[in-house]
Structure 1
Amino acid sequence: MATAAGTASATSFISATFTAPSNSTESLAQNATTVGWMRESGGRGTLTLITTCLLTMFICTWVVIHRRVYRSNSMGQWHKTAIFLKAIVAPEFIAVEGLQEWSQAKKMVAQCAEYKDDEGKSMELIHAFYITMLALRYRVGKTTSRVIWPNQYVWLLRHGFIEWRNHTEWGLLRRDIEDKSNTDGFAKATALVQVFWFVAQCIMRSAHDLPLAPLESMTISYIPLFAVTYYFWWFKPKDIMSPTVINLPNMTSSQREEFEDLAISSDFDDEV
């Protein structure tokens, strides 16, 4: 009896979740028929529907994630997993986070625009993102380090402790950052193809007056947020495995204290 009840419950859940067409396209436009598990023969089945939607949602979340940099790679992977789960539950939060980070990077670029290198070039978004994602640290002792926050880096520039023309010595050469960034062109291309294919399938069904399953409608809602987030993080390095650790220039104790007071948080210093 318990088994029969469980089977009936599962069938009812699937019936409420997936919408399948009847043989008449005209009747589909008027009424949607709810059914149980559909086999793959003769058209798309329930398994294809589920796997396609889950794959698209995975691509719209996991591939787009650009995590911050940790000294410990295991911490970095935990952080990426946490972002992934947050993106599944509330994808709009990731889009807002992308906007905030992009705005912060743009602000830093504007603040550093007057400082040029020997070629007359100033800081670009990729450099600003690299710093804002906590990838730049300074040594404290032989084995420990602390994060250099964006406002601290700007302070060093404005007070003449560093010069932008020497930014390559701080690991901020664009080519070096791109080499450290694990940007997979194949993964990006696969993501775009999958998303465009899924959208095209949904458009074709609508054009033929065929209904979309609730799971398909939910999946479509991820795509605009995926696109917005990807736009904001386009120049942000991806999956940097280790930070750049440098030595601070010499400064007086009062200057060092002023510099350290600008730190936004100490939570990311010397994590294990």
Structure 2
Amino acid sequence: CTDIKGCRTIPAIVWSSAATALACAWFAIHRNVPYPGQWWGFAQIEVVLVFVIALALPEWALAWSVRQWIMSRNLLGKLEENRKEMLKKIEEWTRAHAFFIISGGFFYYDHNGKPLYPLSSQDVLEHVLEGELVPPTESEISDRSKGSSASKLLAVLQTAYFVVQCIARLRAHQAVTNIEVMALAYTIITIPMYFFWWHKPLNVNCPVRVPMKPTEDTPETT
């Protein structure tokens, strides 16, 4: 490199690679719905913890997305079977609903308004079969999400652009630094994560309340 104005500087390389890796870890991770009513600081610690783990172990995050994708696919089929069995003319269940359920999107509350625990997939299936649970519309779920399909597509395109840049430099027999190789590895892993989590609502903070049925040990309020 004889002219510094036409060369890539170390700060530029570090900034580009670090920004790509951090963006991949931040935007690709679709966390589950947090426990309602928990301390605000604990929720932020959980966000940072998941982010750090995703940076250190991107394979773990990819496996998490694949596992939830398989679970949502299986759950969606069962939800539609129960809905059709009840012959209810209600909103159809979608992949976004299935992801919302397995992420803890429906939460039991007692008669005093205290959060108890999230509904399991089996709990939701039973409520649907009994006609007691009407799914929120897909637009309502999207409104709870912190990301849209457009924002996800933009992140994917930005990630793909970095990959294309690295490939172009290799084809031109130009040097690719170690930090760029590391960032490239992150992008290669996060692209399939976007695929598996495409329909999962991004970072939903508030679940849907489901009142717990009163039992003999839980007297009804008057």
TM-score bracket for the superposition, by shorter chain length: 0.7 to 0.9
Partner of 1:80: 47
Partner of 1:140: 110
User: Is the alpha carbon distance of 1:228 and 1:51 closer, same or farther for their aligned partners in structure 2, counting shifts above 3 Å?
Assistant: same
Does residue 232 in structure 1 map to residue 196 in structure 2?
A: yes
Q: How far does residue 55 in structure 1 lie from its aligned partner after superposition?
A: 0.6
Contact 1:138 1:247 in 2 (8 A): yes
What is the one-letter code of the residue matched to 2:109? R
Q: d(CA) in 1 for partners of 2:75 and 2:210?
A: 20
Offset from partner CA, 1:253-272 (integer Å, 9 cap, x none)? 6xx9xxxxxxxxxxxxxxxx
Within a 5 Å distance, the mapping from 1:32-47 to structure 2 comes to: 41-47=5-11
Between 186-195 and 106-115, report the one with greater CA deviation: 186-195
Offset from partner CA, 1:236-258 (integer Å, 9 cap, x none)? 111212111121456x66xx9xx
Partner of 2:127: 156
Q: How far does residue 187 in structure 1 lie from its aligned partner after superposition?
A: 4.3
User: Is the alpha carbon distance of 1:121 and 1:69 closer, same or farther for their aligned partners in structure 2, counting shifts above 3 Å?
Assistant: closer
Q: How far does residue 130 in structure 1 lie from its aligned partner after superposition?
A: 0.9
Offset from partner CA, 1:153-193 (integer Å, 9 cap, x none)? 123334x2x35xx514xxx2222111111115664354234
What is the one-letter code of the residue matched to 2:65? G
**Which ranges of structure 1 fall in alignment gaps of 5 or more residues?**
1-21, 24-38, 257-272
**Which ranges of structure 2 fall in alignment gaps of 5 or more residues?**
none
Contact 1:40 1:47 in 2 (8 A): no
Does residue 196 in structure 1 map to residue 163 in structure 2?
A: no
> Helix, strand or coil for the counterpart of 1:167?
coil
Q: d(CA) in 2 for partners of 1:103 and 1:238?
A: 18
User: Is the alpha carbon distance of 1:175 and 1:190 closer, same or farther for their aligned partners in structure 2, counting shifts above 3 Å?
Assistant: closer
Does residue 94 in structure 1 map to residue 65 in structure 2?
A: no
The count of corresponding residues between Structure 1 and Structure 2 is: 211
TM-score (norm 2): 0.83
Q: d(CA) in 1 for partners of 2:113 and 2:211?
A: 12
Q: d(CA) in 2 for partners of 1:222 and 1:77?
A: 23
Partner of 2:205: 241
Pick the aligned partner of 1:221 from 173, 185, 193.
Answer: 185
User: What is the percentage of aligned positions where both structures have the same residue?
Assistant: 22
Of the two structures, which has the highest relative contact order with CA contacts closer than 8 Å and spacing of 6 or more? 2
Q: d(CA) in 2 for partners of 1:130 and 1:247?
A: 18
Pick the aligned partner of 1:210 from 149, 153, 174.
Answer: 174
> Helix, strand or coil for the counterpart of 1:137?
strand
> Helix, strand or coil for the counterpart of 2:134?
helix
Contact 1:68 1:76 in 2 (8 A): no
> Helix, strand or coil for the counterpart of 1:112?
helix
Contact 1:67 1:76 in 2 (8 A): no
Q: d(CA) in 1 for partners of 2:156 and 2:121?
A: 32
Give the alignment's Cα RMSD to 1 decimal.
Answer: 2.6
Based on CA coordinates, which of the two structures has the bigger radius of gyration? 1
Between 74-83 and 233-242, report the one with greater CA deviation: 74-83
> Helix, strand or coil for the counterpart of 1:113?
helix
Q: How far does residue 134 in structure 1 lie from its aligned partner after superposition?
A: 0.8
Q: d(CA) in 2 for partners of 1:42 and 1:211?
A: 15
User: Is the alpha carbon distance of 1:119 and 1:110 closer, same or farther for their aligned partners in structure 2, counting shifts above 3 Å?
Assistant: same
